[in-house]
Amino acid sequence: MLTTGTSAGMSVPGSNARSEPLIQIRDLIYQSAGIFQADNKLQLLEDRCGKRMKALGVPTLRDYYACLTVNPMHQAEMASLLNEITIGETCFFRNRPQLEAIRNIALPKIIEARSKLGQTRLRLWSAGCSTGEEPFTLAMILLEESAGRLKGWSMELLATDLNERSIAHAKAGCYGDHSTRNLDPYSRNKYFSVRGNELQATPELQASVSFSRLNLLDDSLMTFAKDVDLILCCNVLIYFDLASKNRVIRQLYRSLLPHGHLFLGQFESLFGVSEDFQLVHMPSATAYVKSNNGAARADQP
């Protein structure tokens, strides 16, 4: 398998600002987790490694790279580093270009495909929904569209997570400043009410998402998600090893309708994991669709 050319990204000769161990750690994270830290995110990565190095009492990045590779606990340390990388990221309307792509490009395609089948229903799935910010964001987008393109449609929004406590939090629908930092005034007023220092999702918003606990590796449970138009699965696969990733991706593939779209985290990639899905580009966002939009491989076991 080919990884892309130079490991130093697109930096040019003469640019030696970044240390070699940091680049090695970046590439290691990408190989094992599929999440990429571009050159303009390397400072952030260095800070996050710094936190872990402090916790471990490790003096240099070179030593820390050894912790992530040769140390007997390297897998656990990689999980800790990934936690550090994704921590606190969850908030409403987190990745605007991705949401725009869903609303303006994926949704019209889904509507067209469903309409061709004479159907006026759609089903979306937030797989690994954490404390609910992501599915509630999708719900707000769908509710806005329900007065326009989706008028008269029935919509189902599934949201699952492995963590019981996250699901309980999501069901309660109460959020603090950190989660609501990207919420525009319009959505804030329409879909939330103030409760002390927090914002409470309105009954309408809460009713539009059905939360449940689900282990993505549990094949028997996975059959519940069928005929899905769109899956959002952000920064979830990064914690799985390659074999588990393969299994999950295959399940997600089966869950999707032929026109279905899979959206991952902003810098997440399926390269080397799945050849069933094809990468597609939208303005400042990428997604995965079934090969030939599902025609060729939809029935593959």
- Give me the residue label for tokens 């999702």: 201
The tokens of 138 are what?
């999708």
Of 154, 132, 133, residue with least CA distance to 142: 154
Question: Which of 41/190 has CB closer to another protein?
Answer: 41
Asked if residues 68 and 81 have their Cβ atoms less than 8 Å apart, the reply is yes
Task: Write phi, then psi, for 83 (nearest 5 degrees).
Answer: -60, -45
- Determine if 270 is a binding residue for another protein (CB under 8 A): yes
Strands 256-264 and 228-233: parallel
CA separation for the pair 84, 104 (Å, rounded) = 32
- Determine if 84 is a binding residue for another protein (CB under 8 A): no
Q: Site for another protein (CB under 8 A): which residue of 1, 70, 147, 243?
A: 1
CA separation for the pair 109, 78 (Å, rounded) = 38
Stretch that binds another protein, among 100-108, 143-151, 172-180, 207-215 (CB under 8 A): 100-108
Q: Site for another protein (CB under 8 A): which residue of 53, 271, 274, 298?
A: 271
Question: Which of 40/220 has CB closer to another protein?
Answer: 40
- Determine if 7 is a binding residue for another protein (CB under 8 A): no
Q: Site for another protein (CB under 8 A): which residue of 109, 247, 250, 297?
A: 109
Sign for the pseudo-dihedral over CA of 170, 96, 251, 230: positive
Stretch that binds another protein, among 10-18, 59-67, 125-133, 134-142 (CB under 8 A): 10-18
Q: Site for another protein (CB under 8 A): which residue of 21, 22, 30, 142?
A: 30
CA separation for the pair 260, 289 (Å, rounded) = 6
Stretch that binds another protein, among 37-45, 67-75, 152-160, 191-199 (CB under 8 A): 37-45
- Determine if 277 is a binding residue for another protein (CB under 8 A): no
Question: Which of 77/268 has CB closer to another protein?
Answer: 268
Helix (H, G, I), strand (E, B) or coil at 286: strand
Instruction: Specify the DSSP class assigned to residue 3.
Output: P
CB of 186 to another protein, least distance (A): 21
CA separation for the pair 84, 78 (Å, rounded) = 10
- Determine if 6 is a binding residue for another protein (CB under 8 A): yes
CB of 46 to another protein, least distance (A): 15
The tokens of 62 are what?
């070179």
Q: Which residues bind another protein (CB under 8 A)?
A: 1-6, 9-17, 30, 36, 38-41, 97, 100, 104-106, 109, 267, 269-272, 278-284, 286-287, 289
